[in-house]
Amino acid sequence: MTSHVALRGVSRIYPGKPEVHALGPIDLELARGEFFAVVGPSGCGKSTLLDVIAGLASPSTGEVTFESKRVKGEVPPGIGVVFQEDASFPWLTVHDNIAFGLREAGAAEGEVAAQVGYAIEFMGLKEFARAYPAQLSGGMRQRVCIARTLVLKPRLILLDEPFGALDQQTRLLMGDELLRLWRETGATILLITHALDEATMLADRVGVMSARPGRFLDIISTAWPRERDSTIVSSESFGRLTSRIWTLLRGESIRALGRA
């Protein structure tokens, strides 16, 4: 079975004196429809990994393939990205933000209205459809960004610490939403997070990254059923998996802190 996304020998090195070896080498294969999480200490290159997969940055060595085609220089169609920082467009209403991609693609207004309406309902933004991002909280703005990505029906969704600024309870709920989205769309998801419990709870497999230059120390399968939600945090295997990940990460985090 061909993988949906494949990275072979990918690394990213920033030129200069001295060179900064930010990432790699990385070998990774994602199956279609899988939920993959990446955890690692700060500065290990997780965001760089996302940039390279999306085509926002070119790998210095190795190659990235998406749907059997090489990714280089530009973002291929079918990929959606939710960034760590707020990427909502402040000059557009929530509705127009979400409609942005569809309108750029030249969809008819009727189609746009239908799709956007659905996405707004799905993400619980109905009351705020005519509001501007400045009037919303950080969490709501992230939901707008997710809806904006969702509505284009991407086959691969990349998320870079999307719930970074939120409190724990909201994160758990947003995690449930993300799982719901995943099941509805059948997309392949790559989630970058610093929160171990979030990674363990949400993903089919968790990639544990080393300190810079980031490489995968291990990839752990969680073996969760597809129909899952945040209540699995109370199961026994959840605790075991999380402590296994932390054991791997602890040394790396100390190294990263020492270097930082």
Amino acid at the residue 45: G
User: What part of residues 59-78 is at the interface with another protein (CB under 8 A)?
Assistant: 74-75, 77
191 pairs with which residues across the strands? 37, 159
User: What part of residues 129-158 is at the interface with another protein (CB under 8 A)?
Assistant: 132, 134-135
**Residue 154 DSSP class:** -
Q: Which is nearer to another protein, 107 or 241 (CB)?
A: 107
Task: List the one residue from 3, 29, 58, 86 that touches another protein (CB under 8 A).
Answer: 86
Asked if residue 100 binds another protein (CB under 8 A), the reply is: yes
The whole-angstrom separation of Cα 162 and Cα 76 is: 21
Task: List the one residue from 13, 89, 173, 218 that touches another protein (CB under 8 A).
Answer: 89
Asked if residue 165 binds another protein (CB under 8 A), the reply is: no
To the nearest whole angstrom, how small is the minimum distance from the Cβ of residue 251 to another protein? 32
To the nearest whole angstrom, how small is the minimum distance from the Cβ of residue 145 to another protein? 8
Site string for another protein, 105-134 (x = CB under 8 A): ---------------------------x-x
**Residue 124 DSSP class:** T
Asked if residue 87 binds another protein (CB under 8 A), the reply is: yes
Look up residue 157 and give its two tokens: 């969704």
Q: Residues, the chain, total?
A: 260
Task: List the one residue from 91, 226, 237, 260 that touches another protein (CB under 8 A).
Answer: 91
220 pairs with which residues across the strands? 206
**Bridge-based pairing state of the strands 5-14 and 188-192:** unpaired
The whole-angstrom separation of Cα 51 and Cα 60 is: 13
Look up residue 13 and give its two tokens: 């090195």
To the nearest whole angstrom, how small is the minimum distance from the Cβ of residue 243 to another protein? 34
Q: Which is nearer to another protein, 93 or 253 (CB)?
A: 93
Contact 84, 160 (CB under 8 A): yes
Residues 6+ positions from 237 with CB-CB distance below 8 Å: 222, 223
To the nearest whole angstrom, how small is the minimum distance from the Cβ of residue 211 to another protein? 24
To the nearest whole angstrom, how small is the minimum distance from the Cβ of residue 170 to another protein? 19
Contact 38, 216 (CB under 8 A): no
Would you tell me which residues interact with another protein (CB under 8 A)? 54-56, 74-75, 77, 79-81, 83-87, 89-92, 100-101, 104, 132, 134-135
